Amino acid sequence: MHRIVVKIGSSSLTSDEGGLNRDKIVFFAHELAQLAASDTQVLLVTSGAVAAGFRQIGYPSRPKLLHEKQAAAAVGQALLMQAYQEALGAYSICAAQILLTRSDFSNRNRIRNAQMTIEELLRQKIVPVINENDTVSVDELKFGDNDMLSALVANLVKANGLIIITDTDGLYTADPRKDPTAKRLERIGEITDEIYAVAGGSGSAVGTGGMRSKVEAAKVAMRGGVPTFVGKVAERGDLQLAVYGNGKGTYFDTQRHSLPMKKQWLGFHSTPRGKVFVDSGAEAALISRGKSLLPVGVKHVEGDFRSGDVIEVFNMDGQVIGRGIVNYDSTQIRAVAGLSTDEIQKRIELPRAEIIHRDEWISLK
């Protein structure tokens, strides 16, 4: 059975005045129902709680202060779910609310419980409606406009595809609103620095409406083996077109297989406690040859960490190449960095030769 995660952002759900647009909810419910009717398991990642709630509270415009946004989200989340329940109920589809935070993903037990809940809902033909728990999230740990949340959910449930709906019909070589020669990139197999450049960012002249966060989400989904579509769903039938390869947007293809839960946690959810910098030989061994990290390849250590912690590994250009669970304390690595295994055994007694075993490693390059 096909399993698809659909992400809808606030801008696709709100009215010109900034509040929730019920007609748009009804439209998307129809699109989701059509997908579910084609023997597809559907998960919805939605924004819109703040937009739904701020007018109900009495704010004249969308609030900017954190506590005001959280209050609006507390009111709006109930209204948002009510709107989805009613709209999907017209097609005899039940919706279930799931609220997640970044800290849920960093805790392996909590995210495993969330995964089991989602699996049971899908088995019962219920559509999980997933949003960030804005009422308790803090700005530094927020997912943003739920793009990254949708990618992490797609990896978690081993989805066959991720559909990120936006107001722009894909990624262009330049901003099509300003440059008439801009061309849409139909398919992308690898996200390079050039792709990030056209996606734009803060202070960029070519950024097209938050496209960079969508490209970053697509990269995470691709790392987990989930192909991703970023584009427009504005007319009836557009969602099915997007799912089956003929959508109005850009497709991010991947040849990778889905990641096991442990590797997902390690790569995307864990909290690194330190850094290790390695030479080009160790980098090649880790990235290209599937080897473990040995002390001989280590050039520099940063941070104070212990055996069993997660650390990030950098190359000599300062680029993150991956993460792993370390077998040494930071003080031990400093003592043996650059030494061969034979030399180490003469100096110190360690249970294993590898600083990071290949089974406890994920490449991020």
Percent with pLDDT over 90 in the chain: 64
Q: Which CATH architecture has domain 2-261?
A: 3-Layer(aba) Sandwich (3.40)
Inter-residue contact 138 to 73 (CB < 8 Å): no
Instruction: Choose the weakest-confidence range: 142-151, 166-175, 229-238.
Output: 142-151
pLDDT value of residue 176: 81
Rounded Cα gap, residues 298 and 58, in angstroms: 58
Query: Distance between CA 232 and CA 67 in Å, rounded?
Result: 32
Q: Which two tokens stand for residue 83?
A: 């709107």
Give the C-alpha separation, 151 to 323, whole Å. 19
pTM: predicted TM-score of the whole model, two decimal places = 0.85
Superfamily of domain covering 271-363: PUA domain (2.30.130.10)
> Which pLDDT band, with edges at 50, 70 and 90, does 204 fall under?
very low
For residues 340-360, b (16+ Cβ closer than 10 Å) or e, as one string? eeeebeeeeebeebbbbbeeb
Q: Which of these, 176, 220, 173, 249, lies nearest to 12 by C-alpha position?
A: 249
pLDDT classification of 351: cutoffs 50, 70, 90: low
Nearest CA among 268, 328, 266 for reference residue 298: 328
If one compares 242 and 60, the residue with the highest pLDDT of the two is 242
In angstroms, the CA 287 to CA 197 distance is 24
User: What pLDDT sits at residue 201?
Assistant: 56
Please state, in angstroms and rounded to a whole number, the distance separating the CA atoms of residues 326 and 59. Answer: 50
The model's pLDDT over 148-199, given as tens digits with 9 standing for 90+, comes to 999 999 999 999 999 999 988 999 988 888 888 889 999 999 998 889 888 8
202 phi and psi angles, rounded to 5 deg: -65, 130
DSSP letter (8 states) at residue 175? -
Provide φ and ψ at 263, rounded to 5°: -70, -35
Q: Is residue 100 within 8 Å of residue 61, measured between CB atoms?
A: no
pLDDT at 193: 85
**How many whole angstroms separate alpha carbon 223 and alpha carbon 151?**
10
Cα maximum dimension of the chain: 73
The confidence score (pLDDT) of residue 206 equals 35
Give whole-number Cα distances, 309 to 83, 267, 327, 362, in Å.
44, 13, 8, 14
| Domain ranges for the chain | 2-261, 271-363
β-bridge partners, 41: 3
What's the DSSP call for residue 307?
Answer: T
Task: Answer yes or no: are the C-beta atoms of 313 and 320 closer than 8 Å.
Answer: yes
Residue with tokens 């937009």: 51
Question: What confidence tens digit (pLDDT) does each residue in 67-124 have?
Answer: 898 899 999 999 999 999 999 999 999 999 999 988 888 888 899 999 999 999 999 9
Structure tokens that stand for 138 in this block: 């803090």
